[in-house]
A and B are shown apart, each in its own frame.
Chain A
Amino acid sequence: MRTRLVAGSLVVLGLTLASLEVRAQQAQRQPPPSLDQLKAMPTPRDADGKPVLMGWWGGGGGGGFGGALGAPNERGDVFVAMPARDGRLQNLENDSYISQKSEDNVPQYKPEYWSKVRDLDLHGNLQDPAFNCKPQGVPRQGPPNRIVQLGAEVILFNGTTIRDFRVGQKRNPDDLLIETWNGVPEGRWDGDTLIVESIGFNDQSWLGWGGFFHSFDMKVTETFTRVGNALHYTALVEDPVLIEPWHARDQWMIFSPNQNATIPEATPCEERDKNHIVNNRRG
């Protein structure tokens, strides 16, 4: 019985790996279109002639887990080694730390705010709201991965986080009474570009990993420009704590080949690490 089970298990494992190999070969035969090819495709437009933004949008990288599968060794063990430098577990975050610290596009604060930035950065493993099950907020969360258009209504999804507004409709002043993580958006078209201006933020989210806080008076302007099957997204931050506006994002997204995807239930988040951390390392 045990032999049959083991043999059966190995067959399944083999089939799984074989299936992955077939998929990999198919992927090799049909390379995904380049960004330039996507941009050269026709831009779908609605009855008003505006680009259709509706759909799932991806960053063009990752998203698949097949390549992460490990092959069984001679004993049948499956070890999936994370790409840690020198094979050392602690380098997973060490290298991420170096990468984050090497980012040169950082917001420039007025002189009186740098001590606060430095302090938040030093204690980022405890203070960073993203480490505490809090929303990343706009613009840190990046571009939406799904856009739904229902007439003038636009719904932006970042995972299970949503923003909902009507293009051309002024925001309700009452909405500004509530401090928000994602801002209170107001959208308008400028030619083929959808511009979304958001105010009404709380002061809890960070602009980025390095203790980059913002004030209640932050204004974020995002732009969405569809070119063929690519979407150009930018985010500009204006805040009295900064000496100049900060270009937080400028990136291209691609129209996802899987438009039938659905949004899963939001999984509850519980921070359980904080009380066990013994130093200020983070990745």
Chain B
Amino acid sequence: MKTLRSLCLLCGLLLAASSVYAHHSVAAQFDPEKMVMAKGILTKVDWINPHTYFTMDVKQPDGALVSMELESAAPAALRRAGVAGREAMKVGTEYTIFYHPARNGDKGIGLLAVFTLPDGRMIGASAQESFDLAVKLVEEEKAKSRK
């Protein structure tokens, strides 16, 4: 329960922090029009400025396991609402993640827009097009499994 509360707050803070820490252009690094859905096991969290980074072992579409560094919001904003440390995102937990890939083709980085809790609910903080892309991927996945 604490995790969910933290994650809900995290969403708000991701939004709030974006206006404070949006320095480099997102679009200068990541492709807003592309979204990758994958499963990843959280291995490390770096609570650093100007962005928190979640490192995950992510299964790529070709089956390969790649350690990815996924960019997120600033830790100061997260901390102010008590979202910090091991309870916010648990190392060792597998999450379904939705990220915008790097424009330069680097498979090791991404902009984490949405992730799915172990119970299936999706949590995200980004522009609407990120959510639309994530939901579309989920629907496509469901359609595939029905076939």
Residues of chain A having any CB pair with chain B under 8 Å: 2, 5-6, 8-9, 11-13, 16, 62, 65-70, 72, 75-82, 84, 87-94, 96-97, 125, 128, 130-131, 133, 264, 267-274, 276-283
Contact of A65 with B127 at beta-carbon distance under 8 Å, contacts A9-B4, A92-B26 already known: no
Contact of B22 among A6, A81, A93, A268 (CB under 8 A): A93
A281 touches B11 (CB 8 A): no
B129 touches A80 (CB 8 A): no
B41-55: CB near A (< 8 Å → 1, else 0) gives 000001111110100
A90 touches B25 (CB 8 A): yes
Q: How far is the CA of A279 from the CA of B29 in the complex (A)?
A: 8
A65 touches B80 (CB 8 A): yes
B27: chain A residues within 8 A (beta carbon): 89-90, 93-94, 279, 281
Question: Is residue B90 within 8 Å, beta carbon to beta carbon, of the partner chain?
Answer: no
Contact of B129 among A6, A88, A283 (CB under 8 A): A88
List B23-77 residues whose CB lies under 8 Å from chain A.
Answer: 23-29, 32, 46-51, 53, 69, 71, 74-77
Q: List 16 A-B contacts (CB under 8 A).
A: A6-B119, A65-B12, A65-B16, A65-B77, A65-B80, A67-B12, A69-B9, A75-B121, A78-B7, A79-B125, A80-B14, A88-B127, A273-B23, A273-B24, A273-B71, A277-B25
CB distance from B124 to the nearest CB of A (A): 5
CB distance from A277 to the nearest CB of B (A): 5
Q: How far is the CA of A60 from the CA of B4 in the complex (A)?
A: 31
B46: chain A residues within 8 A (beta carbon): 270
Q: How many A-B residue pairs have CB under 8 A?
A: 183
A89 touches B124 (CB 8 A): no
B15 touches A89 (CB 8 A): no
A87: chain B residues within 8 A (beta carbon): 127-129, 132
Which partner residue on chain B sits nearest A96 by CB separation?
B22
B125: chain A residues within 8 A (beta carbon): 70, 79-80, 82
A78: chain B residues within 8 A (beta carbon): 7-8, 11, 121-124
Contact of B15 among A80, A97, A130, A278 (CB under 8 A): A80
Looking at B14, B106, B113, B130, the one whose CB has the most chain A CB atoms below 10 A away is: B130
B121 touches A76 (CB 8 A): yes
Question: Is residue B96 within 8 Å, beta carbon to beta carbon, of the partner chain?
Answer: no
Q: How far is the CA of A89 from the CA of B101 in the complex (A)?
A: 13
CB distance from A75 to the nearest CB of B (A): 7
CB distance from A257 to the nearest CB of B (A): 16
Contact of B9 among A9, A65, A273 (CB under 8 A): A65
